[in-house]
A and B are shown apart, each in its own frame.
Chain A
């Protein structure tokens, strides 16, 4: 029997599947989600060495259509949407007027008049309402400028299939359809690319993206087909070491790669420039975008703080978020993410530090973890680097 506390939480189409498979369920951003199945360390290792399957149905999906879609998206997102070719996606930001991050997202060009934006679970309503307010009034505009915005978050489910064996597993599933003909399109699908593919009359959007640093796919489908997709991938993944994974491993995997988590490493008080993600901002975009003036002014004036990554060198408890970062005993910043790195076997994290303090890669710092000063060193991003392929 579920406790009353969980009754108010949102459930993905796979919640019952997770419970039946013995996952440990927790509240995450208003959702009832698996934090782990057998254990975070084991799931993390499986993704780095074989494959893992995650339910990411809590994430939001917005559909933007119309002849004016790309031109309009360019005015509300930082990256260059108009340059996206059909079947390609890009990482980008939705900013407020001050250049602060409302959300970080991936926008895919399905066709030149049809775009899919994948947004964070905790920001779905906020992003949708913000964007709706910026829409041009359809009836006042000529056909060529019209844009339509749909929130498909309740309609769509999604899973992430991640790890070096991901392509083998997904190929086997796609090829299982008796009507499947021709070569498998996955081999030529580039990073951030997206294709539509159907298996037994069920349609899937398959993107070569992820939040783990490994090769892998994020697969979108309607809610009703989520369980079918999950079970088929589990079946075809079995011989390739696939394990179901929870949000715990998702967090350790992304932190090793220094992928930001909105709400921790990004917020409306932080700009993409401070986060070190300026390459996803087309600062000189001619059409202009919300937050552009603030970012230009910030670049002109020079940054005061920036996001660094660190690795713990001494013994001690793993750092968490909101731990003071010290240089020569003086606080120069605060962690925004921290934890135990299963790949490195020690504590790692990220945090914002004052640039004037002069702490750069290789600088020895300390992290104050609940009153214990833990020695650490500032390192290059990502913290985890895959061993060179021989």
Chain B
């Protein structure tokens, strides 16, 4: 099972790569596998502000639309322009399939996210 231990995880299947007061956010390999065949990603606007747990993006698979929640509170500083090819979410969920970057308003929230081991326990 592909769950890098360099990342933190939300119960709703998003990952965050935390670097000081910024975080890169995407969905997990497990999530992309459950969604399958991603055909569109509706990304947030740069400058949008989210509290942890708020809907920040929407992913459409062939079958249905799914909400993606911001794992942490903060302001969007960048979105992934490469997702004009939405299949990157399926092929490289933890890499080129990243969705947006946040400037964190409360970096201490990261402590509430799961470790790789805890997330593996959740999805097993």
Residues of A whose CB lies within 8 Å of any CB of B are 24, 35-36, 39-41, 248, 251-252, 315-318, 320, 339-340, 342, 370, 372
List, in ascending order, chain B residues with CB within 8 A of A316's CB.
Answer: 40
Task: Judge whether A320 and B62 touch: CB under 8 Å.
Answer: no
Query: Closest B-chain residue to A247, C-beta based?
Result: B63
Distance between A322 CB and nearest chain B CB, rounded to angstroms = 12
B20: min CB distance to chain A, Å: 33
> In the docked arrangement, what's the CA distance between A317 and B36, Å?
15
Residue of A nearest to B90 (CB): A39
Judge if B25 is at the interface, Cβ distance under 8 Å: no
Known contacts A318-B39, A320-B64, A340-B40; 20 further A-B pairs (Cβ under 8 A):
A36-B36, A36-B63, A39-B36, A39-B37, A40-B36, A40-B61, A40-B62, A40-B63, A41-B37, A248-B63, A252-B62, A317-B40, A317-B42, A317-B58, A317-B65, A339-B62, A340-B62, A370-B58, A370-B65, A372-B42
Closest approach, in angstroms, between the C-beta of A384 and any C-beta of chain B? 15
Report A247 CB to chain B, min CB distance, Å.
9
Chain A residues within an 8 Å CB radius of B60:
317-318, 340
Q: Which of B22-71 contact A (CB under 8 A)?
A: 36-37, 39-40, 42, 58, 60-65
- Identity of the chain B residue whose Cβ is nearest the Cβ of A246 in the assembled complex: B63
Query: Can you give 9 A-B contacts (C-beta < 8 A)?
Result: A24-B36, A36-B63, A40-B61, A40-B62, A317-B40, A320-B64, A340-B62, A370-B65, A372-B42
Is B58 in contact with A248, judged by CB distance below 8 angstroms? Answer: no
**Contacts across chains A and B counted by CB atoms under 8 Å:** 41
Question: Cβ of B61: which chain A residues have Cβ within 8 Å of it?
Answer: 40
Residue among B40, B60, B62, B84 with the most chain A CB within 10 A?
A: B62
Most buried by A among B37, B39, B61, B63: B63
> In the complex, which residues 92-124 of chain B have their Cβ closer than 8 Å to any Cβ of chain A?
none
Counting chain B CB atoms within 10 Å of each CB, the highest count among A251, A315, A318 belongs to A318
Q: Are A318 and B36 in contact (CB under 8 A)?
A: no
A340 and B39 contacting across the interface, CB-CB below 8 Å: yes
For B39, the chain A residues whose CB sits under 8 A away are 318, 340
Query: Known contacts A317-B42, A340-B39; is A35 also within 8 Å of B65 by CB?
Result: no
Taking a contact as CB atoms under 8 Å apart, the answer to whether A342 and B40 are in contact is: no
Q: How far is the CB of A347 from chain B (nearest CB, A)?
A: 8
In the bound assembly, the distance between CA atoms of A315 and B39 in angstroms comes to 11
Q: Are B37 and A320 in contact (CB under 8 A)?
A: no
Chain A residue at smallest Cβ distance from B67: A370
Q: Which residues of A contact B62 (CB under 8 A)?
A: 40-41, 248, 252, 318, 339-340, 342
Chain B residues near A370: list those with CB within 8 A: 42, 58, 65
In the complex, what's the smallest C-beta–C-beta distance from B94 to chain A, in angstroms?
Answer: 20
B55 smallest CB distance to A (angstroms): 11
Return the chain A residue nearest B42 by Cβ: A317
Q: Within the complex, which residue of A36, A39, A318 is in contact with B40, where a contact is CB–CB below 8 Å?
A: A318
CB neighbours (8 Å) of A318 from chain B are 39-40, 60, 62
Using an 8 Å CB-CB cutoff, how does the interface string of B74-85 with A read, 1 for contact, 0 for none? 000000000010
Q: Can you name the residue of chain B whose Cβ is closest to the Cβ of A41?
A: B37
Residues of A within 8 A of B64 (CB): 320
Distance of A26 Cα from B44 Cα, bound (Å):
30
Considering only CB atoms, which chain A residue lies closest to B84 in the complex?
A: A315
Q: A35: shortest Cβ distance to chain B, in Å?
A: 7
Chain B residues contacting A39 (CB-CB under 8 Å) are 36-37
Q: Considering only CB atoms, which chain A residue lies closest to B36 in the complex?
A: A39
